[in-house]
Structure formats: C-alpha cells, structure tokens
Structure 1
Amino acid sequence: MRVMVAIDDSDESFYALQWVLDNPFSRLMTAPPPPAAAAAAGHDSGSGLLTLVHVQQPFQPYGFPAASSAGVSVFYPTSTVVYSVRKSQEEISAALLSRALNMCRDKMIKAETLILEGDPKDKICEISEEMNVDLLVVGSRGLGKIKRAFLGSVSDYCAHHANCPTLIVKPPPKEASSNK
C-alpha cells in the first residue's frame, strides 16, 4: 500500500500524519504484502511506503515602484535577496519534513520525502497520480464556508480532483476551557 501525506507548517497536517501513524492500517506500511497482492497492485516494492510531500509556493521576485525626482522607477530585488529567500524556503521545507520523518521513525514506518514547488492543491493531485498512490491523506484546517470560499481549501480540492481515495483528517476538537 502506498500512502501519501501532505505536510505543511500547520498543526493540522502533523495531526493528520500522527493519525495515519496511530491507526491500524499503518501496519500495512511495515509488513510486506503477499507476493500475488503486490503484483496485482502493480507495485514493485515488497512493502508499503509512506510518502511525505511538502509543496512550497514559488518565489516571484516583483518590482517595487519608487518615486524619485526623475519620475517613477522600479526596483527589483537583487540576486542575493532572491537566493536568500529560496535558501530559506528550502531550509523550512527540510525542517518540516525532518520533523515528519522523525515521527515516522518513532513508529518504525518506512517513509520517503518530496519537496515540490507550485500551487499545493495542483501539485499534490499531480504527484499522487504520477506515483500511483493508493491513499492521499490531508489535514483539514477547519475553515468555515465563508473562509473556504475566499481562501480556497487544499483538502476540498484534493477530495474532488485527486485520482485516488482521499482521506481528510479533521483537527481534534478544541478543549473547552473552563473558567474556574
């Protein structure tokens, strides 16, 4: 069984990963399937695999208009600034996936990581199809209808556009704080 979990910097995505690791079907990723089942599923590996995918937004260096005595000029970020931003994005992605890999190692689950660049909802659906994923798992931020309409929902998009079953893990219920 090949499972893909989308990871971002939200607690909800790590909750979804923890849910995957804590539930019984995670055993499918540690024990090798019978040879006939693996051949029928079209997988060449002897056991399941968990893929952790993080999609970072592409950095678009924009020009900044500035007024001067000669008129309006446009200033663009230097190559050093662009390099610095991209390096920072890579470090953030690596840290997120490292945290997720450590969670998998603690449960003795075999996992691989992917870092992609682009629109998260499109890239997650594309890569899940390319990799013949059996199950796509995404966390839900719990947006209301209005916020979801304006901000969009990666989980909602994946549920409707991914070519594999998609499991949306809702965040845990918030504890009611008691005022004593």
Structure 2
Amino acid sequence: MFHKILVAIDRSEMSQAGFDEAVAIAKATGASLILMHILSLDDEESPHMPVLLGRDFYPQGASRSVGQIYEELWKAYEERGSVLLQTLTEEATAKGVAAEFTQGMGSAGPVLCEFAREIGADLIVLGRRGRSGLDELFLGSVSNYVLHHAPCSVLVIHRQPEARTKTTSEPHIQTVNG
C-alpha cells in the first residue's frame, strides 16, 4: 500500500503527533519514512533580520556586522533542524522503521509537494496548527496548500496531542461522512 511516507517536521506538538502516526503506519505497512524540515522565513523560529534603527543605535566598534550576526543565527537555526531530524530518525529506526531525513528551504507547502513528487512519495503526513481567520489569511496554511497540491495521498493530523493514547501502536483511522 504505502512504500514512501514523507513526514513534515517542525517543533510543534502536532508535528510530533504526525511523526508518531507516520511511524505507526510505516510499521503496519512496511513503508519507509523520509522526514523533512523546511527552513523558511515564515517559520516562527527562524531568525529575522533586525530592523536598522539608525547608526546611533549600534555600539561603536562592534566586531561583527548585522549580516554576520544574522548568518550565525541562521546557521544555528539550520543546525537545530538537523538535530531534531537526526533525533527523530534514530527514534524511528529504534522502532524498526527505515527512516532518513532532509531539510529544504522555501515556502513549506510548495517545497513539500515538489519534494514528494521528486521522490515518488505515496503519502504525506503533517500536523495542522489550527490557524484560522486572519492568521490563516496572512500566514497561510501549509496543510491546506498540501491537501490541494500534493501528488499523493495526504494525512493531516487534526486532533489535540493530549487526546492521543500512548498504549496503542496501531494507527488510528477515522472516517468522516459528510
């Protein structure tokens, strides 16, 4: 049924819930996981270039430029993503699931869909942050984009992490009529 499952990873609780579901599905179907974190300026954790407030704001004799500081912050952001991916890959492997990881850069929805197309993914799993109203209008919804543009099936995790049961190792599949 599934051979390659692409899992969108960030530091949210819903992403962790998506990862857990993907591991359960992979175990049940013998699929492998490809974990992907997107480096994006839209990410709440990405570094942002400070607004220049005039030359009097910055101390004289500063040894590093604003650009150098930003570059260091970006590298640290990228490294945190790599560490997270490595940790989750090791966790999946310890549970008997073949897994690898990659980081992409850009707008999360289009990057995920294009990568899924390139690798021939059978399923994309991602968590939904639950943005609505103006937040969704201005910040967008990665899950909404992926649902409408993915080249394969998509599983969006909607439920709250607190509602998850730790005792089941089988994926929970619920049908919705309507």
Residues 149, 142 of structure 1: alpha-carbon distance in 2 compared, 3 angstrom cutoff: same
**Conserved in 2, the CA contact under 8 Å of 1:14 and 1:100?**
no
- Report how far residue 138 of structure 1 moved: 0.8
Show structure 2 runs of 5+ residues with no match: 42-46, 57-64, 164-178
Correspondence for 1:6: 8
Change (3 A) 1:173 1:102: closer
| Change beyond 3 A, Cα 1:115–1:173 | closer
Q: 2:38 is matched with which residue?
A: 55
Q: What secondary structure is seen at the aligned counterpart in 2 of 1:95?
A: helix
Residue type matched to 2:27 in 1?
Answer: S
1:81-92 correspondence to structure 2 within 5 Å:
81-92=69-80
What's the TM-score once normalised by structure 2's chain length? 0.72
Structure 1 residue ranges, 4+ long, deviating more than 2 angstroms after superposition = 25-29, 58-63, 142-151, 171-175
Q: 1:120 aligns with which of 77, 93, 108?
A: 108
Length, aligned pairs only:
148
Alignment of 1:54-133 (within 5 A): 54-57=37-40, 61=49, 64-66=52-54, 77-79=66-68, 81-133=69-121
The whole-number CA distance in structure 2 between the counterparts of 1:115 and 1:56 is 7
Structure 2 match to 1:144: 132
Question: What SS class does the counterpart of residue 100 from structure 2 fall into?
Answer: strand
How far is the alpha carbon of 1:67 from its aligned partner? 5.9
Using the aligned pairs only, state the percent identity: 27
Give, in whole Å, the separation in 2 of the partners of 1:149 and 1:61: 23
Aligned to 2:86, the other structure's residue is in SS state: helix
2 CA distance for matches of 1:166 and 1:16?
11
Return the alpha-carbon distance in structure 2 between the equivalents of residues 52 and 111 of structure 1. Answer: 7
1:3-43 per-position Cα deviation (integer Å, ceiling 9, x unaligned)? 100001111011011012224x53323xxxxxxxxxxxxxx
Q: Distance in 2 between matches of 1:145 and 1:19?
A: 28
Taking structure 1 as the reference length, what is the TM-score of the superposition? 0.72
Structure 1 residues 173 and 107 mapped into 2: Cα distance closer, same or farther (>3 Å)? closer
Query: 2:29 and 2:89 mapped to 1: Cα distance?
Result: 18
Alpha-carbon distance in structure 2 between the residues aligned to 1:123 and 1:27:
27
Determine which structure has the larger strand proportion and give its number: 1
- Distance in 1, matches of 2:52 and 2:134, equals 32
Contact 2:27/2:96 (8 A) holds in 1: no
Larger Rg: 1
Structure 1 position 172, deviation (Å): 2.6
In terms of mean alpha carbon deviation, does 142-151 or 156-165 score higher? Answer: 142-151
Match of 1:22 in 2: 24
Q: Is contact 2:22-2:33 (8 Å) kept?
A: no
